[in-house]
């Protein structure tokens, strides 16, 4: 069964520092991969998606992620953290479009001033 | 741009009562998904519909049922509610025949069972 692992349930960075949120998937076939952000008491907003067209994917709000098949990883990065980035981030995977999403446990990002 | 609409946004029920959650997908989207997010947990897939037919089923209790209507809105019916059903319930929609294929989520319905 497909699974998604997010290393680190909480990540704390200073404002202006690099953000790195880790995501690994387990699947013999590279799935479609997504990063979603959830602000308190709100729904899930899509940040970016990997669809096999390009390994480096750029998303909204300055985030990007790189798909590395050899490492079965899809880590999310942002060069410079902003206070407004504080939220919970979920990595998710699906085997094909139209299929259910399998989510990681989530990583809460805290940005210190 | 139109988004996924869910109603109600908040719902308080007592144990053993019934609840109905509604979802209105983005216009022209052909697939609807339901997810349950418990406190401090990641969303878990419950059920999905493609063109009004059930397309996939996850860890949905037998006490729950869902359907998609001719106007594409979907309803999640939950009976004999238990304390453990307290959660945030998300509906998402996507256009799987021609894209964009990603799932767009609604704001969720927060169900509290007392």
Please indicate if any CB of chain B lies within 8 Å of the CB of A56. Answer: no
pLDDT for position B90:
96
pLDDT for position A39:
92
Chain A environment of B42 (Cβ under 8 Å): 90, 103-106
pLDDT tens digits for range B38-50: 998 999 999 999 9
pLDDT for position B100:
55
Please indicate if any CB of chain B lies within 8 Å of the CB of A95. Answer: no
The proportion of chain B whose per-residue pLDDT surpasses 90, expressed as a percent, equals 82
Please indicate if any CB of chain B lies within 8 Å of the CB of A61. Answer: no
> Closest to B102 (Cβ–Cβ): which among A43, A46, A104?
A46
pLDDT for position A95:
79
Instruction: Put residue B9 in one of left, alpha, beta given phi > 0 → left and psi -120 to 50 → alpha.
Output: alpha
pLDDT for position A40:
86
pLDDT tens digits for range B7-37: 999 999 999 999 999 999 999 898 999 999 9
Q: Are B11 and B112 in contact (CB under 8 A)?
A: yes
């Amino acid at each position: 069964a497909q699974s998604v692992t997010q290393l680190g349930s909480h990540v704390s960075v200073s404002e202006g520092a690099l953000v790195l949120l880790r995501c690994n998937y387990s699947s013999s076939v590279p799935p479609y991969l997504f990063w979603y952000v959830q602000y308190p008491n709100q729904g899930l907003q899509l940040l970016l998606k990997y669809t096999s067209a390009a390994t480096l994917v750029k998303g909204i709000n300055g985030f990007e992620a790189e798909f590395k098949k050899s490492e079965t990883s899809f880590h999310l990065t942002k060069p410079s953290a902003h206070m407004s980035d504080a939220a919970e981030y979920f990595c998710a995977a699906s085997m094909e479009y139209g299929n259910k999403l399998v989510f990681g446990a989530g990583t809460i990002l805290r940005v210190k001033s | 741009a139109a988004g996924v609409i869910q109603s109600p946004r908040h719902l308080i029920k007592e144990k053993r009562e019934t609840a109905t959650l509604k979802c209105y997908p983005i216009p022209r989207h052909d697939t609807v998904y339901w997810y349950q997010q418990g406190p401090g947990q990641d969303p878990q897939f419950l059920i999905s519909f493609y063109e009004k037919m059930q397309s996939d089923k996850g860890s949905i209790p037998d006490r729950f049922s869902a359907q998609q209507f001719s106007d594409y809105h979907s309803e999640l019916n939950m009976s004999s509610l238990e304390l453990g059903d307290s959660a945030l319930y998300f509906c998402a929609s996507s256009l799987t025949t021609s894209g964009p294929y990603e799932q767009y989520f609604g704001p969720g319905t927060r169900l509290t069972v007392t």
